[in-house]
Structure 1
Amino acid sequence: MHAVVVFESIWGNTEQLAREVAAGLGGERTEVVDAASAPVALEADVDLLVVGGPTHAFSMSTSSTREAAKQQGAAQVPTRGIREWIEAVSSPARAVPVATFDTRMVTPRLPGSAAKKAMKRLVALGFRPLAKPETFGVHGYSGPVADGELDRARRWGAELAGLSAPALSPDA
């Protein structure tokens, strides 16, 4: 299986979770790449796309919400997040399965989901939803990742691998 995990991370929490999802996916080729440097055309042999980012202002981050994070002390603010990457990515030649995840503060629990918005836009481009969008909790803006969430991310990656396996078999 060739899986690509594209993430946006400002405080490092979403990147940690993306790497755990990728570890759970396993597979022969699992790439983990940040949205700022992710290619806008997927290779033809990609079997699964996973996209994750932080929830900012009830949705995917924007340049202004990333700037606000910088004002709050974030040291590594990406120039392009998943919103801009999705806007630039080419429609797939076939309905590549996709899963999305986001990070949100555990408390206060605010509405909105970057993962749901990302899924909606990716499906509109021709990707096929593999699983419902997933949310992982972090403590405050800067983290750390909430207890148990890294393990849960790895398990979710394994679940995604299991869900995509039937679609990859020649008898499917």
Structure 2
Amino acid sequence: MKALVVVESVFGNTRQIADAVANGIGRHMDVQVVDVRDAPAVVDGVDLLVVGGPTHAFGMTRAETRRAAAEQSGGTVTADAVGLREWLVTLHVVGAAGATFDTRMDRLRLPGSAAKAAGRALRRRGVQLVARPQTFRVVGTRGPLREGELARAEAWGAQLAVQLTPARPGADA
């Protein structure tokens, strides 16, 4: 079985979560992590598609929010032309189950979620979601991740894979 994790990350925190999710998935199936800039428009031959990105302005990033993040970084990050929002519009998925996650600032409990928006976009493309959207918290705009989030992400990834991995004959139930 194969999994693909597609991630958009501005300050690196969401990428850390994607790598941790992939580590969990990798215990049970082959997995690859790709940046959204390099993600294929057609996803075929994959059993599980996991999509993750940061929550900006109550949802998935937009060109304006990516530019604002680049300015806020003082030049340490660049504003990418393609984020999850743009990639999902072009996406065609063949036969994969799906799951979504996002990262959000811990100190503010604001509405909106990149994971929920990405989940809606995947469902519109015929992808059956196998888990509720997950949010992982960062301490500030640039991070770091809240303590324990990497372990939680890895456990979530393993749980996703176990749901899709057929039981091996002779394995304990």
**In the alignment, is the contact (CA less than 8 A) between 2:63 and 2:79 conserved in 1?**
no
* 4+ residue segments displaced more than 3 Å: none
Match of 1:77 among 76, 79, 90: 79
User: Could you tell me which amino acid in structure 1 is paired with residue 2 of structure 2?
Assistant: H
**In the alignment, is the contact (CA less than 8 A) between 2:60 and 2:84 conserved in 1?**
yes
Aligned mates of 1:156, 1:89 — CA distance in 2:
24
**In the alignment, is the contact (CA less than 8 A) between 1:138 and 1:145 conserved in 2?**
yes
**In the alignment, is the contact (CA less than 8 A) between 2:67 and 2:78 conserved in 1?**
no
1:31 matches 2:17: no
Q: CA deviation at 1:88?
A: 1.0
Q: CA deviation at 1:42?
A: 1.1
Q: CA deviation at 1:72?
A: 0.4
Aligned mates of 2:78, 2:18 — CA distance in 1:
17
**In the alignment, is the contact (CA less than 8 A) between 1:6 and 1:32 conserved in 2?**
yes
**Mapping for residues 4-83 of structure 1, pairs under 5 Å:** 4-26=4-26, 27-43=28-44, 45-73=45-73, 74-83=76-85
Superimposed CA distance per residue, residues 60-88 of structure 1 (whole angstroms, 9 cap, x where no aligned partner) = 00000000101101514332111111011
**In the alignment, is the contact (CA less than 8 A) between 1:8 and 1:14 conserved in 2?**
yes
**In the alignment, is the contact (CA less than 8 A) between 1:4 and 1:48 conserved in 2?**
yes
Superimposed CA distance per residue, residues 4-59 of structure 1 (whole angstroms, 9 cap, x where no aligned partner) = 0000000000000000000000144211001011111113x200000000001100
1:86 matches 2:100: no
Secondary structure of 1:102's aligned partner: strand
**In the alignment, is the contact (CA less than 8 A) between 1:13 and 1:145 conserved in 2?**
yes
**In the alignment, is the contact (CA less than 8 A) between 1:4 and 1:46 conserved in 2?**
yes
| Identity level (%) | 49
**In the alignment, is the contact (CA less than 8 A) between 2:88 and 2:121 conserved in 1?**
yes
2:139 corresponding residue in structure 1: 139
Question: Which deviates further from its counterpart, 131-140 or 69-78?
Answer: 69-78
**In the alignment, is the contact (CA less than 8 A) between 1:11 and 1:76 conserved in 2?**
no
Structure 1: stretches of 5+ with no match in the other structure: none
